[in-house]
Amino acid sequence: MFFRKSIIALTGLFLCIFLIVHLSANSILVLPEETARSLYNSYSTTLRESPLIKIVAYVLYLSIILHVVYALLITINNRKAKAKGYRVNQYKENSSWTSQNMGLLGISILLFIVVHLANFWARIKLGMGEGVGLDANGHVDVYEVTYSLFQNGYYVVFYTLLMVPLGLHLHHGLKSAFMTLGFYHKRGLRTIAKVSLVYAIIMAVGFGVIPSIVFLK
C-alpha cells in the first residue's frame, strides 16, 4: 500500500510542477493579440523541437498513466475494505468530502484531459482535425488553434467548469502527497495546508479564466 501511495504522491507532485509551467505558458494568451500570437507560437515551437522537452513529455505521459492506474487500484482496494467493514481513514484530515471523493474528482480531470488532448495534442502533434494553419515562420499556428477553440462558448464553459474538480483535487492531493512522503509535523502540516490551498486556487482560477479572456478578445 505504501509503495502505491508513494507512486501517486511522487507522480502527483511532478504533475503539480507541470501545471505551474503550463499555466505560466498559457498566461501568454491574455496578452494583446499580436504579442500573444508570436510569443505563444515561438514557445510552443521551442517545446516541440527540443529533444530534452521530448523526454520530459514522455515522463509526463508516464506520470499521468501511473498516477491514474495506482489511484484506481487504491480506490478499488478501499471500497473492498469498506465493504468488509474495515476502517479505511484513520485521520481527521482525511475525512473531508474532497478526500472521500478523490476518485470521482480524478475521473472528471481524466475526462478533461482526454477532451483537452483531442483539442490540442491531436491537432498540433498529429495534425488531426480542422483549424491547423501555419504561422509566419512555417510552424503550426498553436495560437490560432487555441483562439478558434475558445470562440466556441461550449468549450469555454467546459474548460471553466472542469477547473472546479481540478482545484478540489489539487487542494487535497498536494496536502496528501506531503503526508505520504513523511511530513507529519503539526506546524509543517499547517503550512503545507495553506500552500496547497493557495496553489489550488491559483491553478483553478488561472486556467479557469483564460478561456473567457480569449473568448472576449
Per CB under 6 A, residues contacting ligand HEM are 22, 26, 44, 47-48, 57, 109, 113, 116, 120-121, 124-125, 142, 146, 159, 166, 207, 210-211
Find residue 11's DSSP bridge partners: none
For the packed helices 2-26 and 186-216, what is the interaxial angle rounded to 10 degrees? 40
* DSSP 8-state secondary structure symbol assigned to residue 50: -
State in angstroms the smallest separation of the CB of 64 from ligand HEM: 6
* Dist CA 51 CA 64 (whole Å): 20
Task: Give least dist CB 95 to ligand HEM, A.
Answer: 26
Helix (H, G, I), strand (E, B) or coil at 134: strand
57 vs 197, beta carbon nearer ligand HEM: 57
DSSP, collapsed to helix, strand or coil, labels residue 200 as helix
Element (DSSP H or E) covering residue 16:
helix 2-26
CA–CA dist 168, 173 (Å, integer)? 8
The least CB distance from residue 204 to ligand HEM, in Å, is 9
Least Cβ distance, residue 94 to ligand HEM (angstroms): 23
